[in-house]
């Protein structure tokens, strides 16, 4: 062995340090790239030669560019994201619903019901008064309007959720397509034995984005590709092929969005509403507990209908109780005064359909009731029925949550909305702090530290200079040897 082996050693050093500086440069460049994992060069000495009579290495080589990555952590982040996004979606919907029920800050349905019965009290003190009758009519109309308005605002929340499904499924499909593409690239890189660190980062980021939208189960193959199944076990991404997740209108009136999944392929087969599976029931996970999609479905299918059902219960109780008493009474539209008139339209027993009876006029309001001395009330001063109607306010009704007066029941609905909203806010806040913790751990492991890279940079630069110096020395040595010959 001669001087030329010094050149070999030095040039291996120069090449290795240059590559290390490249990696440090890559790290610094990607310091703010989401999902990027810090890379480290692993240097090792080259095979030992005994040409000198004793074992000495033949320079340095880069054995690997390793990515700092914790698969377990990645999985936890994916799971945490799904739950967090579901809670966040619910919280946002509840925060839209809550103002309608915010009886603490402003007058709502509770006050409207109270005012309705107060008007009957007022009428009972002056049953023939036309002012009292007009006030009762307008307050009843306000009660009906408040029911309608709450029904509308709840339905708007459900409608918005339904519309959001279109965008969410489109994003899922988009991410699935990208994941299939990344899988293809990983395979290609793998085939030529290349380094696919950045592709793996992209793969993980796409999985994370998918988990935001929908609950997924991921399987990582040994070649680095990822396959994804949805909560119901359907394949979304399988190697290099993917499926389309899309919405189609149901047959219901008015139609709602159903979630369907096409077959696998690259590109996948054209959407076919008839043959593609309807996975609305399973895609959100158990109880629609996963991802934005799960949260949105829960808002549309569970939360809003539950609140609407409570409002409907109230509307139906008011309508039937008031009508029963009202139709037994007599108006002042005589002679002869009419009886048997409904106050609310009998058919309207939901918060959407409740209306005042079409034939109701101020004079037909039945404040009077047959008494011993006024058997078929001809007297406009008869207030017996008005008192009976006013007393309905304190009647207990049998509601789905137990027996309660109207205002107690409504109070419990408002409290329920408060508890639901507070609960959603709490779990969302917990989820956010849990994710922050996980991301901090990920960042601690995989994040780029500028200080560290700068230190490395200096280190590698000096080593590079050292190797260059060695070449310099070897050149001089060669010159010296050449001088001997001359």
- Which residues, in sequence order, are CB contacts of 18 under 8 Å at separation 6+? 464
Site for another protein in 82-101 (CB under 8 A): 94, 98-99, 101
Q: Which is nearer to another protein, 451 or 479 (CB)?
A: 451
How many binding residues for another protein (CB under 8 A)? 69
Q: Does 334 bind another protein (CB under 8 A)?
A: no
Q: Binder to another protein among 59, 110, 285, 431 (CB under 8 A)?
A: 110
Site for another protein in 370-399 (CB under 8 A): 371, 373-374, 377, 379-384, 387, 390-391, 393-394
Q: Which is nearer to another protein, 290 or 448 (CB)?
A: 448
Q: Which is nearer to another protein, 101 or 399 (CB)?
A: 101
Phi, psi of 40 (to 5 degrees): -130, 140
Closest contact distance (angstroms) between CB of 396 and another protein is 12
β-bridge mates for residue 399, sequence order: 402
- The pattern of x and - marking residues 181 through 200 that bind another protein according to CB under 8 A reads --------------------
Strands 241-242 and 235-238, sheet pairing: antiparallel
Burial category of 375 from C-beta neighbours within 10 Å (exposed 0-12, middle 13-18, buried 19 and up): exposed
Rounded Cα–Cα distance for residues 4 and 477 (Å) = 10
Q: Are 297 and 288 in contact (CB under 8 A)?
A: yes
Q: Does 444 bind another protein (CB under 8 A)?
A: yes
Query: What is the residue whose two structure tokens read 């925060």?
Result: 95
Site for another protein in 406-435 (CB under 8 A): 407-408, 410-412, 414-422, 425, 432-433
Choose among 373, 409, 374, 367: nearest CA to 388. 367
Q: Does 443 bind another protein (CB under 8 A)?
A: yes
Phi, psi of 246 (to 5 degrees): -145, 170
Site for another protein in 118-157 (CB under 8 A): 118, 121-122, 124-129
β-bridge mates for residue 62, sequence order: 43
Q: Does 204 bind another protein (CB under 8 A)?
A: no
Rounded Cα–Cα distance for residues 417 and 426 (Å) = 14
- Length of the chain in terms of residues written: 486
- Which residues, in sequence order, are CB contacts of 136 under 8 Å at separation 6+? 116, 119, 120, 122, 123, 362, 365
Q: Are 287 and 295 in contact (CB under 8 A)?
A: no
Q: Binder to another protein among 250, 361, 403, 436 (CB under 8 A)?
A: 436
Q: Does 338 bind another protein (CB under 8 A)?
A: no
Q: Does 114 bind another protein (CB under 8 A)?
A: yes
Name the residues that contact another protein, by CB under 8 A.
31-32, 94, 98-99, 101-105, 110-111, 114, 118, 121-122, 124-129, 368, 371, 373-374, 377, 379-384, 387, 390-391, 393-394, 407-408, 410-412, 414-422, 425, 432-433, 436, 439-440, 443-445, 447-451, 454-455, 458
């Amino acid at each position: 062995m001669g001087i030329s082996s010094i050149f070999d050693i030095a040039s291996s050093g120069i090449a290795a340090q240059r590559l290390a500086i490249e990696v440090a440069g890559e790290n610094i460049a990607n310091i703010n790239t989401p999902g990027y994992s810090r890379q480290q060069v692993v240097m090792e000495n080259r095979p030992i030669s005994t040409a000198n009579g004793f074992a000495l290495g033949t320079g340095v080589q880069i054995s690997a560019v390793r990515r700092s990555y914790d698969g377990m952590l990645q999985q936890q982040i994916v799971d945490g994201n799904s739950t967090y996004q579901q809670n966040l979606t619910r919280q946002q919907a509840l925060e839209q619903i809550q103002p309608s029920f915010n009886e603490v800050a402003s007058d709502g349905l509770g006050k409207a019901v109270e005012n309705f019965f107060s008007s009957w009290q007022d009428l009972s003190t002056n049953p023939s008064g036309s002012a009292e009758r007009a006030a009762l009519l307008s307050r009843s109309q306000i009660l009906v309007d408040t029911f309608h308005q709450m029904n509308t605002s709840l339905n708007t929340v459900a409608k918005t959720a339904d519309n959001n499904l279109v965008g969410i499924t489109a994003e899922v499909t988009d991410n699935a397509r990208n994941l299939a593409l990344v899988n293809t690239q990983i395979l290609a890189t793998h085939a030529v034995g290349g380094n696919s660190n950045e592709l793996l980062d992209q793969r993980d980021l796409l999985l994370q984005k998918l988990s935001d939208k929908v609950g997924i189960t991921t399987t990582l193959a040994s070649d680095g590709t990822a396959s994804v199944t949805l909560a119901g076990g359907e394949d979304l991404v399988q190697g290099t092929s993917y499926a389309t997740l899309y919405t189609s209108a149901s047959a219901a009136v008015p139609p709602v969005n159903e979630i369907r999944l096409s077959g696998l392929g690259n590109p996948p087969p054209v959407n076919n509403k008839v043959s593609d599976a309807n996975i609305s029931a399973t895609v959100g996970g158990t109880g629609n507990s996963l991802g934005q999609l799960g949260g949105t479905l829960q808002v549309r299918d569970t939360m809003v209908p539950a609140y609407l059902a409570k409002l409907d219960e109230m509307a139906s109780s008011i309508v039937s109780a008031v009508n029963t008493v009202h139709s037994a009474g007599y108006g002042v539209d005589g002679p002869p005064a009419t009886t048997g008139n409904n106050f609310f339209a009998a058919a309207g027993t939901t918060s959407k359909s409740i209306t005042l009876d079409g034939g109701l006029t101020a004079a037909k309001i039945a404040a009077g009731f047959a008494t011993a001395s006024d058997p078929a009330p001809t007297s406009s001063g008869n207030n017996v029925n008005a008192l009976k109607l006013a007393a309905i306010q304190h009647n207990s009704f049998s509601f789905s949550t137990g027996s309660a007066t109207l205002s107690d029941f409504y109070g419990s609905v408002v409290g329920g909305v408060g508890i639901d909203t507070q609960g959603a806010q709490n779990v969302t806040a917990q989820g956010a702090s849990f994710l922050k913790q996980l991301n901090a751990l990920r960042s601690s492991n995989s994040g780029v530290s500028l200080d560290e890279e700068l230190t490395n940079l200096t280190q590698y630069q000096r080593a590079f200079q050292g190797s260059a110096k060695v070449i310099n020395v070897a050149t001089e040595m060669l010159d010296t040897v050449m001088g001997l010959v001359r």
